[in-house]
Amino acid sequence: MDTNRLTNLQRREIQSPLIANLMREFINEFGYDRAMQISSAAIQRDALNSGRILAEKYGGNTMPDLLRLVREVWAEENALEFTLLEATGQKLSFDVTRCRYAELYDRLGIKEFGCLLSCDRDAPLIRGFNPHMQLIRTQTIMQGAAICDFRILLESST
């Protein structure tokens, strides 16, 4: 199997059951809070590194480059359906109206880990992509909201 040809959603489908099993064992061994803290730190470090790698792959780390990443990686094969609200050099705003990642975790019976496995990766991935970008999000489909509100701002570098 050529793992370079997998979509992001397919990667999550392959990785998530193993990670969920590891997390359950960590919970049994260390308790829920400590297990989630350890897992979150590892997943966020991975996301930060992935953001750096993707910026290299895309040959830039501007807002247009990030929008391209959202369309080509996060939303590949309709994994996310979203409405683009604003796309400038300083701001990228969109609302996700359907999240197949949330649907995947629900189908796999691991919805309780969905935010940790996907949503919590977004801010560090964006920061790794460009350290001056900041994600502001107040709700997610994974947590039961009707939409995920992505507001990404380019902070001044002064």
CA angle 103, 48, 18 (to 5 degrees): 45
pLDDT at 134: 97
Written as six digits, the tokens of 125 are 């991935």
Written as six digits, the tokens of 11 are 């990667």
Which pLDDT tens digit goes with each residue over 59-90?
999 999 999 999 999 999 999 999 999 999 99
pLDDT at 119: 96
Domain chopping of the chain, boundaries: 3-154
pLDDT at 5: 86
Written as six digits, the tokens of 27 are 């919970």
Could you please report the per-residue DSSP string of 17-48? HHHHHHHHHHHHHH-HHHHHHHHHHHHHHHHH
- Percentage with pLDDT > 90 across the chain: 94
Could you please report the per-residue DSSP string of the chain? --GGG--HHHHHHHHHHHHHHHHHHHHHHH-HHHHHHHHHHHHHHHHHHHHHHHHHHHT--SHHHHHHHIIIIITGGGSEEEEEEEE-SSEEEEEEEEEHHHHHHHHHT-GGGHHHHTGGGHHHHHHHH-TTEEEE----GGGT-S-EEEEEEE----
Mean pLDDT over residues 135-147, rounded?
A: 97
What span, in angstroms and rounded, lies between the C-alpha atoms of 122 and 142?
Answer: 13
pLDDT at 2: 54
Mean pLDDT over residues 130-147, rounded?
A: 97
pLDDT at 121: 96
Which pLDDT tens digit goes with each residue over 97-135?
999 999 999 999 999 999 999 999 999 999 999 999 999
Residue 11: pLDDT band (50, 70, 90) is: very high
Please give the residue that has the higher pLDDT: either 22 or 3.
22
Is the pLDDT at 3 greater than 60? The verdict is no
Give me the CATH topology for the region 3-154. Muramoyl-pentapeptide Carboxypeptidase; domain 2 (3.30.1380)
